[in-house]
Copies of this chain bind each other. A is one copy, B any other.
Amino acid sequence: MSGLSRRDLLRNSAAAATLAWGAAARASAPVAKTQGPGVYRLKLGTYQITALYDGLWPIPINDDFIRNASRAQVNKALETDFLAPNILPISFTALLVNTGKKLILIDTGTAGQITDSAGTLLANLAVAGVSPKQIDTVLISHFHPDHINGIKTKDGTKVFTNAEIQVPEGEWAFWMDDSNLRAASGTVHKYFLNTRRIFRDIAKDVRRFSPGGEVAPGIMSLPAYGHTPGHCAFMISSGSDNMLVLSDSVRDPSLFVRHPDWQPTFDMDGPTAVDTRRHLLDRAANDRLLVHGYHFPFPASGHIIKAGRDFELVSVQWTPL
Contacts and interface: CB of A to CB of B under 8 A. Distances in A.
A28 B127 contact: no
Given A7-B237, A36-B40, A37-B36, A101 B303 contact: no
A33 B17 CA distance: 45
Contact of A6 (B28, B56, B220, B303): B220
Contacts of A34: 320-321
A317 B99 CA distance: 29
Contacts of A220: 6, 10
Contacts of A26: 134, 136, 162
Interface stretch (A60-68, A81-89, A168-176, A199-207): A81-89
Interface string A25-60: 110110111111111110000001010010110000
A228 interface: no
B29 A129 contact: yes
A100, A162, A318, most chain B CB atoms within 10 A: A318
Contact of A235 (B10, B38, B55, B314): B10
B136 A98 contact: no
Q: How many copies of this chain are found per oligomer?
A: 2
B82 A28 contact: no
Interface in A220-235: 220, 235
Given A35-B41, A83-B317, A21 B102 contact: yes
A8 to B, nearest CB: 10
Contacts of A214: 10, 13-14, 17
Nearest to A33: B321
B32 A320 contact: no
A283 interface: yes
Nearest to A297: B317
A271 interface: no
A91 interface: yes
Interface string A77-112: 000111100000101000000111111000000000
A100, A136, A217, A288, most chain B CB atoms within 10 A: A217
B317 A10 contact: no
Contacts of A7: 235, 237, 242
A315 interface: yes
A130 interface: yes
Given A14-B237, A288-B82, A35 B321 contact: yes
Interface of A: 3, 6-7, 10-11, 13-14, 17-18, 21-22, 25-26, 28-29, 31-41, 48, 50, 53, 55-56, 80-83, 89, 91, 98-103, 117-118, 120, 127-130, 134, 136, 162, 214, 217-218, 220, 235, 237-238, 242, 254, 283, 287-288, 297-299, 302-303, 314-321
Top 3 A-B pairs, shortest CB-CB distance: A36-B39, A297-B317, A298-B318
